[in-house]
Amino acid sequence: MMNFDVIIVGGGMVGATQAAATAKLGLRTALLEKALPLRSHSPQPDLRTSAFNLASIQYLGRLGIWEKLNTERLREYHRLSVWEQGGRQLTFDSELTGHSCLGAFAENKNLQIAAIETCQTLGVTLFEDTIQQLHSDKQTTLITTSGKELTASLIIGADGAQSKVRQFAGIGTTGWDYAQHCLLATIKCDHPVPAETWQEFQPTGPKALLPLYDEYACLIWYDTPQRIQSLLSYSQETFLKEAYDIFPDRLPKAEIIESGSFPLARQHANAYFKKNTVLIGDAAHTIHPMAGQGVNLGLKDVEILTHTLEQHFVPGESDLFWLKEYERERRYHNLAMMSLMDTCYVANQLNFPGLKRLRQTFFGAIEPFSPLKEKLLRYAIGV
Ligand SMILES: Cc1cc2nc3c(=O)[nH]c(=O)nc-3n(C[C@H](O)[C@H](O)[C@H](O)COP(=O)(O)OP(=O)(O)OC[C@H]3O[C@@H](n4cnc5c(N)ncnc54)[C@H](O)[C@@H]3O)c2cc1C
């Protein structure tokens, strides 16, 4: 039997960051991850990349994680444009907020590895294992699949949307599947793309481009599950032909490196904690990724939970009622962002002619109002 103050299940971007933050508080921390990642030696990017907003970058910097990312595979971006097909463009520039960038694009694995390396320097005990059983009494005992017995006063579930920790804790979820899948394709362009990300809202779903390092970029295509399935069955040539027909003209000349699709679901845990188990990241909430906010919300969960632990956690104590402070703060913010994404999703799906015209003028109407743009931008980048 091994004893810890805190056990974190799931060493993805959010769980590994939580383990580093918890260890920094001086708590004996264990991290259980079913598949520890290896650094990629391929020059080509992984399919899974994310937009990290400024608030996340600043927090990861304070934890000493951001400086451990492989900077050659990072791409800061300075401008973000959105528009409805046929309508006027709304552009946000980093100058609006006085910051040098709006955020950065990086492979998920780049952050995950940097966070795990930080955990190692902070003395976190890492297990490449999965959770088999969880018994909660005064202390919680976790049995791993390989038969290890670990105990702790607090278990943090960071094991993603299908969280086993959430199931063991008996916490239900509310949500639905979107009638849309997301196709991601990493592309190699014939020249480095500008440090600008853009998204066009089309009746079939948004189409977007994220600049990555060197000449790489990520093409994002939301559409019906059937359409996405067909696209994935096409040859590279046919797929690119479709992409050039559908995407706005600014899509650069490119070859496809890798592609894959993801079903999209909204899911919200009915509670963020129960007894001595607490949920963070996708284990607590998944949202539509059109605004690239999922992992940023998860990292904010880490920041607030860590602050709550710093104020209240006493190793060995079994009544963790104060976790409600974390829940109260994060539930409200996560729900607000989820609802905003749902409003954008529904507004984009409805195709009455009048509504389409309204949408076409909406973005352009905001464009001249710098104070309003600054407010919206600050909300998106979290500062
Ligand atoms: C198409 C798409 C694009 C996205 N783009 C963005 C974006 O640009 N910006 C953004 O902020 N968000 C984005 N997101 C959302 C983002 O990917 C997620 O919010 C984020 O990955 C959640 O991180 P997590 O660590 O909470 O969960 P996960 O990434 O799911 O990690 C969970 C970890 O737990 C481990 N695990 C699972 N079960 C067990 C177990 N039983 N025992 C031990 N370990 C276990 C897994 O191996 C994994 O490492 C996107 C999502 C999608 C689908």
Please give the chain's pLDDT, 383 residues, in tens.
999 999 999 999 999 999 999 999 999 999 999 999 988 788 999 999 999 999 999 999 999 999 999 999 999 999 999 999 988 899 999 988 889 899 999 999 999 999 999 999 999 999 999 999 998 877 889 999 999 999 999 999 999 999 999 999 999 999 999 999 999 999 999 999 999 999 999 989 999 999 999 999 999 999 999 999 999 999 999 999 999 999 998 899 999 999 999 999 999 999 999 999 999 999 999 999 999 999 999 999 999 999 999 999 999 888 899 999 999 999 999 999 999 999 889 888 887 778 778 888 888 888 888 888 888 889 888 88
In Å, what is the CA distance from 27 to each residue of 10, 99, 139, 206? 18, 34, 15, 44
> Helices 54-62 and 294-312 sit at what angle, rounded to 10 degrees?
40
379 lines ligand 1 (CB under 6 A): no
Place of tokens 């998920």: 108
Q: Which of 135, 116, 149 is nearest to 16 (CA)?
A: 116
In contact, 84 and 363? CB cutoff 8 Å: yes
* Tokens matching residue 334: 């996560």
Q: How far apart are CA 69 and CA 44, in angstroms?
A: 16
Give distance in angstroms: CA of 286 to centre of ligand 1.
Answer: 9
284 lines ligand 1 (CB under 6 A): no
Amino acid at 12: G
Question: How many CA within 13 A on the CB side of residue 296?
Answer: 28
Q: How far apart are CA 70 and CA 66, in angstroms?
A: 9
Domain boundaries, the chain: 2-52+108-175+267-346
**What's the pLDDT at 136?**
81
What DSSP state is assigned to residue 130? -
**What's the pLDDT at 354?**
80
Give distance in angstroms: CA of 12 to centre of ligand 1.
Answer: 6
Query: To test ligand 1's pocket by mutation, which of 159, 279, 293 has the most ligand atoms within 8 angstroms of CB?
Result: 159
**What's the pLDDT at 358?**
81
Whole-model pTM: value is 0.95
* From the candidate CATH numbers 3.50.50.60, 3.40.50.1980, 3.60.40.10, 3.40.50.720, the one assigned to the domain spanning 2-52+108-175+267-346: 3.50.50.60
Give distance in angstroms: CA of 341 to centre of ligand 1.
Answer: 18
For residue 333, the surrounding DSSP H or E stretch is: helix 323-349
- The closest residue, in CA terms, to atom 42 on ligand 1 is 130
334 lines ligand 1 (CB under 6 A): no
**What's the pLDDT at 186?**
97
- The closest residue, in CA terms, to atom 52 on ligand 1 is 289
- The closest residue, in CA terms, to atom 38 on ligand 1 is 159
**What's the pLDDT at 25?**
98
Q: How far apart are CA 258 and CA 235, in angstroms?
A: 12
User: Ligand 1 atom closest to Cα of 283?
Assistant: 26
15 lines ligand 1 (CB under 6 A): yes
Who's near 198: CB < 8 A, 6+ residues apart? 80, 81, 82, 208, 209, 248, 250
**What's the pLDDT at 37?**
93
- The closest residue, in CA terms, to atom 39 on ligand 1 is 159
113 lines ligand 1 (CB under 6 A): no
**What's the pLDDT at 22?**
98
Q: How far apart are CA 81 and CA 92, in angstroms?
A: 6
Place of tokens 């999703």: 345
